[in-house]
Amino acid sequence: MRWKKVSLLGLCTALAMSLSFVESLVPPLMPGVKLGLANIAAVFVLYRVGAKEAAAVSLARITLVSLLFGSVTGFAYSLAGGALSLLAMVLLKRGERFSCVSVSVVGGVCHNIGQIAVACAVTGTRQLIWYLPVLLVSGIAAGIVIGLLAGIILQRIGGGS
């Protein structure tokens, strides 16, 4: 069974990297606003396999995409957003009272909060917090889309809600 798990995690990491790359080719509607398609893989792994494995897939994706296509600053933004997002999703999922969409929405919102925190720290500008409402709306919208897609995949493949 271990080889199946490793294969699944490798496929999910590759899928997340591919989705990140494809998304990087599409210009954002507003600065910092992206759909976050790679998070489909993280939500899927969280529900199908577990929290540690979702963290491993997220960290591998963030690291590899940053090395291949990004920068050190981009790595910091992605790591902060991804870590806060995953922590919130793991805690929310643990209660078993929230749907995949709800968990994903909280993840999207927390991702944006993490990125704003890094932006404020890097630039030394607290006024960036005023951009947070725009990012929160986009995080909610993206979280809904990602949660719905991950939920459909989980239902079709089996292993979650």
Question: pLDDT per residue over 82-133, tens digit each?
Answer: 999 999 999 999 977 899 999 999 999 999 999 999 999 999 999 999 999 9
Phi/psi at 118 (nearest 5 deg)?
A: -65, -40
Contacts of 4 (CB under 8 A, 6+ apart): none
Question: Where is 131: in which H helix or E strand?
Answer: none
Residue 31, pLDDT > 90, answer no
Q: How far is CA 1 from CA 7, 11, 43, in A?
A: 10, 16, 21
Q: Is the separation of the CB atoms in 11 and 125 below 8 Å?
A: no
pTM equals: 0.90
Q: How confident is the model at residue 33 (pLDDT cuts 50, 70, 90)?
A: confident
Predicted local confidence at residue 1, as pLDDT: 67
Calpha distance 57→90 (Å, rounded): 14
Three-point CA angle 131, 114, 72, nearest 5°? 100
Buried b (16+ CB within 10 A) or exposed e, 61-70: bbebbbeeeb
Task: Kindly tell me if the per-residue pLDDT of 18 is higher than 90.
Answer: yes
pLDDT-based confidence at residue 35 (cuts at 50, 70, 90): confident
pLDDT at residue 73, rounded to an integer:
85
pLDDT at 161: 45
One-letter amino acid identity for 67?
Answer: L
> Both tokens of residue 136?
């929160």
pLDDT in tens, 48-94: 999 999 999 999 999 999 999 888 888 999 999 999 999 999 999 99
Residue the block writes with tokens 């890094």: 118
pLDDT band at residue 159 using 50, 70 and 90 as cut-offs: low
